[in-house]
């Protein structure tokens, strides 16, 4: 199992955020996690990435426990979050070089060129991250996340703020990643994009998974409408 | 072991590159240091200035060093606050202690550059002579440097990542550093010829007047706090 | 149980004071402040040990009770450190006619006071989640404790111009001092206990109100 989340519990003080969440994602599958704000999606993602410590339960990535063997687990993990994790003073190329060094990527220069081409960032390679637009920063974040050839990709609301062209590009990258055997766990509010790129959908409500089904088991159109009315009723 | 070095080098090089590009902290530190020296020089211009010069000079040096040193500590994690870069470091397959050591080294280097510029200025302002030898001065300054950086790097992560006033970092670092300042000041006074060095002839605990004991103490202090901060760093940088 | 501790502490302190005022009086009179100064200095250090234990306890178990005990011991220790410094200065003024001088004892007392003061400020000023702040304060508590022996050693670099030249001659004086120390130590323990439960009480009240 590429990504295995077992009985994850997290509470902030007396307020529970995640209650016994179980999720197993095999290789070659993309899971889209929906939920209203405050449902615990980002918290779950951060726990899976090893950035946050859960109160109970464990996360394993390709049989490596994130807390017990963090280095082995993190080597296989890539994350795209709201923030680009790019240093504004450094150029695109320098940011990627730094990430490549951190992960010990072999044939560093070639791999960076590969990703610059794949995300169409090559013309901007010597531009400092400070002057990049949101879309370009997003592409940099993607390149950074894929640099070390992870097998599991986490994406926290990756389509937010992207125009149609950028969204399609991201979709293509995700598709190829899954076809190559990788697993994706993403969170999003965009039901259309989410359902399009994933094979499996799940909904988190107040820290509990209230739905976890393969896409072909549910009616996708109905799901989108149902989810929207559910989300509206909650706010 | 090789992994540790790889990660450490990557972060160190990145930190220095960012600092050189941003060009903020070092000039500010140097100017602050010079201003402090200037003020203290003016403040001591009363009566037998030359007689008290080594004492005032040593005091000026440490005060400039401490306050500018605190500025240096604040920068450690300032660059990691933007764009969630700290997450980028924490996601990497690195031991958290490696991040600490890399940041510590970066601070020590920045502070050394500062010392190289400001210490000669202090010596010139107060007309000091290094009676005890330049090597001794370099060692004392380095040990003081490591001392303030070891504590500052740790608490900079603790305080900085939650966006508080820098004054909080200052009081924390200063209070823990305080015991080291006693032998440090004493060592400087001996180096500038203001106090005679009674070599530890009598008992090994006759610290009063022994330059070697002072340096030994600073070394021990640094060792204790570098190790302690390195071990505790993981707790502080976690969310 | 706690009331018993308080009662015992007060009894010991009263007895110690009574002996100190009568049979155990030190000559000259001003020196009697030692009966307050010495127990306080021992207790200021004791509270630090409690602070260390509580900090380590919190970091290893994550249970809030330890964190509250740390705060309580810092507050009580701060009070003792303040009294310690004040009585130290009074003694110094009476004996040698100066309020303060960088002598080992006075410097050590001062740094101890500063360590407590910074801990309390950190406690109050750190923004962020309560758990993160508690962890940071616990880390500070451990480092501050590591500092204490270093303070004692570094104080040896200061020439001790005024060496305290007194000794306790009579058994009565020793008894008074010992009782005073025991009483103050018990008082410190009881106060920390009381303060911890007060903190726990106000915390649970806060949480109830929020829900």
In tens digits, chain A (235 residues) has pLDDT values of 888 989 999 888 778 888 888 999 998 999 999 888 777 888 999 999 999 888 888 999 988 998 888 889 999 999 998 888 999 999 999 999 999 999 999 999 999 999 999 888 899 999 999 999 888 898 899 999 999 999 999 999 888 878 888 888 888 999 999 999 999 999 987 778 888 888 888 888 888 888 888 877 777 667 777 777 777 777 6
Nearest CA-CA distance, residue C64 and chain B, Å: 16
Q: Who among B154, B208, B220 is closest to C156 (CB)?
A: B208
Q: C209: which residues sit within 8 A by CB, 6+ positions away?
A: none
Angle between helices B49-75 and B25-43 (to 10 degrees): 160
Do the Cβ atoms of A121 and A140 come closer than 8 Å? yes
How many domains does chain B contain in total? 1
3-state secondary structure of A93: helix
Range of the domain at B182: 2-237
> What number is the average pLDDT over the span B201-223?
74
Partners of A53 on chain B (C-beta within 8 Å) are 238-239
Place of tokens 């998974």: A209
Place of tokens 């604040």: B74
Given a cut of 50, is residue B66 above it in pLDDT?
Answer: yes
Given a cut of 50, is residue C110 above it in pLDDT?
Answer: yes
List, for residues C34-56, the tens digit of each pLDDT value.
Answer: 888 888 888 999 999 999 999 99
C58, closest residue in chain B (CA to CA):
B235
User: With an 8 Å Cβ cutoff, are B238 and A53 in contact?
Assistant: yes
Q: What is the predicted pLDDT for the residue at B229?
A: 95
User: With an 8 Å Cβ cutoff, are A14 and C211 in contact?
Assistant: yes
What dihedral do alpha carbons A147, A153, A159, A164 form, nearest 10°? 60
State yes or no: ipTM above 0.85. Answer: yes
Nearest CA-CA distance, residue B10 and chain C, Å: 27
Q: What is the predicted pLDDT for the residue at B47?
A: 43
| Dihedral pair phi/psi, residue C48, rounded to 5° | -65, -40
Chain A: list its partners (3+ Cβ pairs within 8 Å): B, C
Q: What is the predicted pLDDT for the residue at A134?
A: 84
CB atoms within 10 A of CB B161: 19
Q: Who among B186, B224, B238 is closest to C146 (CB)?
A: B224
Q: What is the predicted pLDDT for the residue at B197?
A: 65
Choose, out of B93, B106, B236, the residue to mutate when testing the contact with A (most A CBs < 10 Å): B93
Sheet holding A152-156, edge to edge: A77-80, A152-156, A183-187, A30-34, A200-205, A208-214
Please indicate, yes or no, if residue C168 is contained in any of the structural domains. Answer: no
Q: Which long-range contacts (CB under 8 A, 24 or more apart) does C203-211 make?
A: C203/C64, C203/C68, C207/A13, C207/A14, C211/A14
Residue scoring higher pLDDT (B150 or C108): B150
Partners of C207 on chain A (C-beta within 8 Å) are 13-14
Tokens of A175: 């598709």
User: With an 8 Å Cβ cutoff, are B178 and C122 in contact?
Assistant: no
B82, closest residue in chain A (CA to CA):
A87
Please indicate, yes or no, if residue C27 is contained in any of the structural domains. Answer: no
Q: How confident is the model at residue C79 (pLDDT cuts 50, 70, 90)?
A: very high
Please indicate, yes or no, if residue C28 is contained in any of the structural domains. Answer: no
Please indicate, yes or no, whether the overall pTM of this predicted structure exceeds 0.80.
Answer: yes
A14, closest residue in chain C (CA to CA):
C207
Question: Among A63-67, B117-121, B162-166, C144-148, where is mean pLDDT lowest?
Answer: B162-166
Q: What is the predicted pLDDT for the residue at B205?
A: 47
Which candidate, A17, A21, A16, A27, places its Cα nearest to that of A152?
Answer: A27
Question: Among A153-157, B26-30, C76-80, C93-97, where is mean pLDDT lowest?
Answer: C93-97
Range of the domain at C6: 2-18+33-158+173-210
Do the Cβ atoms of B162 and C136 come closer than 8 Å? no
Nearest CA-CA distance, residue C132 and chain B, Å: 7
- Rg for chain B (alpha carbons), in Å? 19
Partners of B198 on chain C (C-beta within 8 Å) are none
Chain B: list its partners (3+ Cβ pairs within 8 Å): A, C
C130, closest residue in chain A (CA to CA):
A13
Please indicate, yes or no, if residue C182 is contained in any of the structural domains. Answer: yes
User: With an 8 Å Cβ cutoff, are A49 and B94 in contact?
Assistant: no
The DSSP letter of residue B23 is -
Q: What is the mean pLDDT of chain B?
A: 84
User: With an 8 Å Cβ cutoff, are A98 and B10 in contact?
Assistant: yes
Pairwise CA distance, residues A9 & C164, whole Å = 60
Chain C: list its partners (3+ Cβ pairs within 8 Å): A, B
Pairwise CA distance, residues C127 & A78, whole Å = 30
Q: What is the predicted pLDDT for the residue at A98?
A: 95
Distances (CA, A) of C185 to A187, B209, C57, C120: 56, 37, 21, 21
Nearest CA-CA distance, residue B61 and chain C, Å: 20
In chain A, where the domains are located: 3-76+151-234, 84-149
Pairwise CA distance, residues A89 & C209, whole Å = 47
Q: What does the DSSP assignment read for B120-133?
A: HHHHHHTT---TT-
Pairwise CA distance, residues A85 & C30, whole Å = 65
What architecture is domain A3-76+151-234?
3-Layer(aba) Sandwich (3.40)
User: Would you call C129 an interface residue with chain A, using a CB distance cutoff of 8 Å?
Assistant: yes
Q: Who among A51, A89, A90 is closest to B91 (CB)?
A: A51
User: With an 8 Å Cβ cutoff, are C126 and B239 in contact?
Assistant: no
By CB atoms closer than 10 A (0-12, 13-18, 19+), residue B199 is exposed
Choose, out of B172, B200, B219, the residue to mutate when testing the contact with C (most C CBs < 10 Å): B172
Nearest CA-CA distance, residue B28 and chain A, Å: 18
Which candidate, B221, B215, B220, B59, places its Cα nearest to that of B139?
Answer: B215
Choose, out of A9, A11, A14, the residue to mutate when testing the contact with C (most C CBs < 10 Å): A14
User: For residue A209, what is the enclosing H or E element?
Assistant: strand A208-214
**What sign has the CA pseudo-torsion B93, B96, B98, B103?**
positive
What is the 3-class SS of chain C, one letter each residue? CHHHHHHHHHHHHHHHHHHHHCCCCCCCHHHHHHHHHHHHHHHHHHHHHHHHHHHHHHHHHCCHHHHHHHHHHHHHHHHHHHHHHHHHHHHHHHHHCCCCCCCHHHHHHHHHHHHHHHHHHHHHHCCCCHHHHHHHHHHHHHHHHHHHHHHHHHHCCCCCCCCCCCCCCCHHHHHHHHHHHHHHHHHHHHHHHHHHHHHHHHHHHHHHHHC
CB atoms within 10 A of CB A9: 16
User: With an 8 Å Cβ cutoff, are C154 and B205 in contact?
Assistant: no
User: With an 8 Å Cβ cutoff, are B22 and A89 in contact?
Assistant: yes
Choose, out of B169, B175, B229, B237, the residue to mutate when testing the contact with C (most C CBs < 10 Å): B175
Q: How confident is the model at residue B90 (pLDDT cuts 50, 70, 90)?
A: very high
Do the Cβ atoms of B98 and B9 come closer than 8 Å? no
List, for residues B220-231, the tens digit of each pLDDT value.
Answer: 999 999 999 999
**Residue A74 Cα to chain centre, angstroms:** 14
């Amino acid at each position: 199992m590429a990504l295995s989340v077992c009985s994850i519990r997290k509470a902030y003080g007396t307020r529970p955020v995640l209650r016994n969440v179980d999720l197993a994602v095999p290789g070659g599958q993309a899971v889209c996690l929906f939920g209203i704000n405050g449902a615990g999606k980002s918290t779950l993602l951060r726990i899976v990435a090893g950035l946050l410590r859960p109160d109970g339960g464990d996360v394993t990535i390709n049989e490596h426990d994130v807390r017990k063997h963090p280095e082995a687990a993190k080597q296989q993990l890539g994350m795209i979050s709201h923030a680009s994790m790019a240093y504004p003073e450094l150029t695109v190329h320098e940011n990627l070089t730094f990430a490549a060094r951190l992960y010990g990527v072999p044939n560093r220069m070639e791999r960076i060129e590969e990703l610059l081409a794949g995300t169409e960032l090559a013309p901007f390679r010597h531009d400092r991250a400070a002057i990049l637009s949101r879309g370009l920063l997003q592409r940099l974040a993607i390149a950074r996340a894929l640099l070390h050839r992870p097998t599991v990709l986490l994406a926290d609301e990756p389509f937010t703020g992207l125009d149609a062209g950028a969204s399609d590009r991201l979709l293509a990258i995700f598709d190829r990643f899954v076809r190559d055997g990788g697993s994706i766990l993403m969170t999003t509010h965009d039901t259309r994009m989410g359902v399009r790129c994933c094979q499996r959908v799940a909904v988190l409500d107040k820290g509990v998974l209230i739905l976890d089904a393969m896409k072909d088991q549910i009616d996708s159109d109905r799901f989108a409408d149902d989810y929207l009315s559910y989300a509206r009723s909650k706010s | 072991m090789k992994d540790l070095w790889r990660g450490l080098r990557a972060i160190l090089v990145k930190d220095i590159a960012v600092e050189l590009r941003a060009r903020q902290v070092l000039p500010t530190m140097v100017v602050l240091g010079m201003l402090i020296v200037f003020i203290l020089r003016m403040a001591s211009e009363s009566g037998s200035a030359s007689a008290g010069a080594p004492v005032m000079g040593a005091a000026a040096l440490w005060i400039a060093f401490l306050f500018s040193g605190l500025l240096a500590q604040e920068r450690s994690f300032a660059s990691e606050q933007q764009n969630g870069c700290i997450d980028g470091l924490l996601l990497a397959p690195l031991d958290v202690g490696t991040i600490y050591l890399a940041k510590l080294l970066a601070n020590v280097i920045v502070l050394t550059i500062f010392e190289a510029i400001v210490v000669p200025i202090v010596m010139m302002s107060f007309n000091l002579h290094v009676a005890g030898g330049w090597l001794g001065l370099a060692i004392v300054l380095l040990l003081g440097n490591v001392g303030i950086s070891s504590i500052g790097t740790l608490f900079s992560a603790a305080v900085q990542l939650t966006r508080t006033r820098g004054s909080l970092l200052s009081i924390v670092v200063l209070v823990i550093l305080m015991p080291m300042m006693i032998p440090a000041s004493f060592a400087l006074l001996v180096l500038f010829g203001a106090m005679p060095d009674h070599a530890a002839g009598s008992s090994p605990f006759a610290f009063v007047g022994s330059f070697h004991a002072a340096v030994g103490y600073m070394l021990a202090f640094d060792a204790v706090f570098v190790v302690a901060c390195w071990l505790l760093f993981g707790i502080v940088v976690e969310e | 149980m706690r009331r018993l501790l308080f009662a015992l502490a007060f009894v010991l302190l009263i007895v110690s004071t009574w002996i100190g005022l009568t049979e155990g009086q030190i000559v000259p009179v001003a020196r009697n402040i030692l009966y307050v100064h010495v127990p306080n200095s021992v207790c200021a250090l004791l509270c630090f040990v409690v602070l260390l234990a509580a900090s380590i306890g919190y970091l290893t178990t994550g249970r809030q009770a330890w964190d509250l005990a740390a705060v309580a011991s810092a507050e009580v220790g701060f009070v003792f450190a303040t009294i310690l410094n004040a009585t130290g200065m009074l003694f110094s003024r009476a004996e040698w006619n100066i309020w303060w001088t960088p002598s080992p004892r006075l410097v050590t007392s001062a740094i101890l006071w500063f360590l407590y003061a910074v801990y309390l400020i950190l406690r109050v000023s750190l923004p962020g989640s309560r758990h993160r702040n508690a962890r940071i304060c616990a880390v500070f508590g451990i480092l501050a404790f590591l500092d204490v022996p270093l303070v004692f050693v570094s104080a040896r670099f200061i020439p001790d111009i005024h060496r305290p030249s007194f000794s306790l001659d009579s058994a009565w004086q020793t008894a008074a001092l010992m009782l005073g120390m025991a009483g103050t130590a018990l008082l410190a323990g009881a106060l920390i206990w009381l303060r911890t439960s007060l903190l726990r009480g106000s915390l649970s009240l806060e949480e109830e109100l929020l829900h």
